[in-house]
Amino acid sequence: MKGRRRAIAVLTALGACMLALAGCSGQTAEEPIRTSTIVLAADGSFTQCRVEDFDREDYQLEELDGMIRQEVRDYLGGASEEGGSVAVEQVSHLEENRAQVMVALHFADSEVYEDYRALVDKQSCELFYGTVGEALSAGYDLAAVLQDVKKGTAVTPEQLEKIGDSMVVIFEEALQIRCPSKVQYISDNVRITDSGYADGTEGEGLKYVVIK
């Protein structure tokens, strides 16, 4: 085997990637997810998806499945995944490419995600998913970065006051976002794809996506 971390990374995000979920445009994306993606739910939870190359000379799929499930159990202190703050949704090969594997982990909220990535994956990352009002209280300067997704104009203080209950995801990793409703505002390092994803795979720094 080539190392435990690689196995964890392979398994940490691939599973829900093949599910037919509504994209940020409000329409269903027909193509399966082929790059790291976070699938948001309206309740503040989300599923992290990642697609990685799978070297069958080093691991069997069952071994990877068992390893990631054990990592989740250890993180939960031995408790069952059911009803826990982290749960494994799926571990499988990509249907169209057996040389790649997909895994999905469901997280109760963004704080759990950051904690899990730091403790289990040994990777520090920043991700916030909550209301605009909560983001402002946490110190994020949304007025300095948000622009209307259709018009390309900067958000005004008046608009910011009106969308305090809207959900915003703030992230730094190179990944895509699938949203449960339409996108209202984004930062200039995010683009909306034809399939309705909020694509932050090429932007630098923190990326912002506000949804209805």
> Which of 4-8, 58-62, 87-91, 137-141 has the highest average model confidence (pLDDT)?
137-141
Q: Tell the residue number behind the tokens 């909560």, with chain if given.
A: 134
φ and ψ at 20, to 5 degrees? -85, 95
Mean pLDDT of 179-200: 94
For 53-87, the pLDDT digits (tens) are 776 666 688 888 999 999 999 999 987 777 789 99
Considering only residues 47 and 93, tell me which one the structure prediction assigns the higher pLDDT. Answer: 47
Q: Say how many Å lie between the first and final Cα of the chain, rounded.
A: 45
Q: What is d(CA 196, CA 136) in angstroms, rounded to the nearest whole number?
A: 26
> Tokens standing for 171?
């992230």
pLDDT of residue 56: 63
The rounded distance, in Å, linking the Cα atoms of 130 and 136 is 10
Q: Would you place residue 50 in the very low, low, confident or very high pLDDT band (cuts 50, 70, 90)?
A: confident
Nearest to 68 by CA among 45, 48, 83: 48
| Cα distance between residue 23 and residue 85, in whole Å | 24
**201 and 35 Cβ atoms separated by less than 8 Å:** yes
Taking the C-alpha atoms of residue 30 and residue 196, their distance in angstroms, rounded to an integer, is 10
Whole-number pLDDT of residue 57: 64
Which has more pLDDT, 96 or 162? Answer: 162
The larger pLDDT score, comparing residue 204 to residue 24, is at: 204
